[in-house]
Structures are given as C-alpha cells and as structure tokens.
Amino acid sequence: MRILNFGSLNVDHVYRVPTISRPGESMPCTEYRVFAGGKGANQSMALARAGAPVWHAGKVGVDTGWLKERLAEAGVRTEWIRVADAPGGHAVIQVEDSGQNSIVVYGGTNRDITPAEAAETLAAFSPGDWLLLQNETNVTADLIRLGHEAGLRVVFNAAPMTADADDLPLQRVEFLVVNEHEAAALAGEQAEAEALAVMLARRCPNTGIVLSLGEDGVLFRAARGGPSLRVAAYRVRARDTTGAGDTFIGFWLAALARGMNMGKALDWGCRAAAISVTRMGAMDSIPTEAEVAVFAG
C-alpha cells in the first residue's frame, strides 16, 4: 500500500500581527518568518511524520526547488516532483495574537501541471494505493477521474474552496474532507454541521464525508447511508492555526491506511492537529508520530 499525494508546494511568508489588517488599514508586524508550506506539501510532511509510505507529486519553480529537498529529508519520496523554469507558489500569511490567520496564495507552478504529467505519474501506482488531492493545483478533475479509473482510493480535501470545485467529479471520491465553510459552499446553503454532512452525502452517496469543525472536533458520515460519528477536539492554547487541517489529514489518513478503525484514526488526526496549533508555522509545526502517541490533551 502506497500513498501518492499530488499537491501544492509553497513558500509561506508569515507576518505576526496584533490583529489581521482590515481593508485600507496599514499595520506593522511584530515578526516575519519564512516557512516551507503549501497544503499538499504540508500533508505529505504530516504523512511522513506519521510513519506512512508517501510519494509527493507536483511542480516547483527554480525559486522554490528547496521545498523538494525539504520533503526528501523528511522521508517523502520526491521523484514525481518536477522543476519548472518559472516562479513557484507562495503564500502571504497574517497570524494574529489569538492564533487566527488570513492567507493569500499565489499558485505559480502549482497551477502549471499538464494532463500528460498527471497521467504519467498515476500510471506508476497500483490499484488499492491511495491518492490524496487538494484544491491548490490545476488538473484536479483529471486526477480524480484517472485515479478512480486506475482503482486508486481517492481522498479529496476541497481546500481552498473555489468556484469551479462544484464541477469536480466528487462522486468518484472515496473520502471528501471539508471544513464547515467548504461544506456549505458545496451544499449551496448554510446549515448546521449534521445537516451539511447529510446534504453532501446525498450528493455523493458513495463517498465518506469528513467534516472538520475546528475546536468542536470532527464529524464523519459513512458512505452509502452508514453511521455518523463525532470525535472531540483537544483543548490547547493556540499560537498559530496555520496547517492544523493539513496535519489532521496526514495523521488521519496514515492511521486509516494502516488499518486503524475510523474513530481511532480521526482521534489520531485530532491529537496531531492539537499539537500543531501550539507551534508557529505550517510544515514546521507538524509533530512526530512519537509525540502524538504520548499526547494526552
């Protein structure tokens, strides 16, 4: 069993501010740091730190090639990361003293993947392998379709939410991972978490819905009318919530892929996310498997 994560790689420029700036407002920052990031790269790092066999596919620019080296040093297989003579992806992140953040993302080479590159990569994997996707790269529809047709177990994290996400072939996804805002956008209306999960399940009856609820934990609704379950979050003092969702996904999927039941796998992800928000940065905040094993909340 292998996990292929076809996802973004970004350089994160993080600015610490008293409060997130409003339109027309200029605000001095109290700290500036540069981190490795991108939802895809963060999730690959989380998978690797959770002990999973993970391959990352994607594209970096000549200015962001060090991201490939960073993942390789952590044990991620990187032979499917291509390097282009173009600017790579980056993000500008404001983090306020409460730990909340505001993020602007420039796609760069993450948005320059060709259908042929996608097909070539997926052809190297086998039925029963996992394919993890996010919504920060292009050709997402092709990847979902090709992965499903190849017998891969497709997991799609619909983040960040975009207008075209509604047109993706979500019925071919085994697990759909969303937060409340993303779930409401796909459902077409605002509602309570349980109602959103029901609406998404009706739209994608063969898909398990993983609905993350921040400090309220996570709600899971099984495919084909199966049972729902809730897993509580762990209470910690947050410093920076950037990358918490990516940490959750990596540890949850790693646990699920090695045979842990859904409830325990979701709890494993919640434990890892709780540790991550107590640290600064996205990729740099991801804990190790050993840290998660001893975490008591």
User: Over the stretch 22-54, which tens digit does the pLDDT of each residue have?
Assistant: 999 998 999 999 989 899 999 999 999 999 999
* pLDDT class of 98 with cuts at 50, 70, 90: confident
Rounded to two decimals, what is the model's pTM? 0.92
Helix 262-276 / helix 244-257 crossing angle, nearest 10 deg: 150
Residue whose pair of structure tokens reads 């842990």 in the numeric block: 260
- Mind listing the pLDDT tens digit for each residue in 164-185? 898 999 999 999 999 999 999 9
CATH number at residue 275: 3.40.1190.20
129 is catalytic: no
In a domain, 20, yes or no: no
Evaluated on CA atoms 12, 44, 218, 290, the torsion sign reads negative
Q: Which amino acid is at 237?
A: R
Is residue 121 over pLDDT 90? yes
In a domain, 55, yes or no: yes
Is residue 144 over pLDDT 90? yes
In a domain, 178, yes or no: yes
Q: Quote the domain boundaries for residue 188.
A: 3-9+37-88+109-294
Identify the pLDDT of residue 280: 85
Catalytic residue selected from 240, 246, 267, 284: 246
| Mean pLDDT across 138-159 | 97
In a domain, 29, yes or no: no
Is residue 297 over pLDDT 80? no
Contacts of 184 (CB under 8 A, 6+ apart): 190, 191, 196
Count of structural domains within the chain: 1
In a domain, 220, yes or no: yes
| Mean pLDDT across 236-257 | 94
Identify the pLDDT of residue 225: 87
Identify the pLDDT of residue 180: 95
| Mean pLDDT across 55-75 | 96
For the chain, give the mean pLDDT. Answer: 95
Residue whose pair of structure tokens reads 């008591």 in the numeric block: 296
In a domain, 21, yes or no: no
In a domain, 278, yes or no: yes
Instruction: Give the tokens for residue 85.
Output: 């003579």
Give the C-alpha separation, 52 to 54, whole Å.
6
In a domain, 179, yes or no: yes
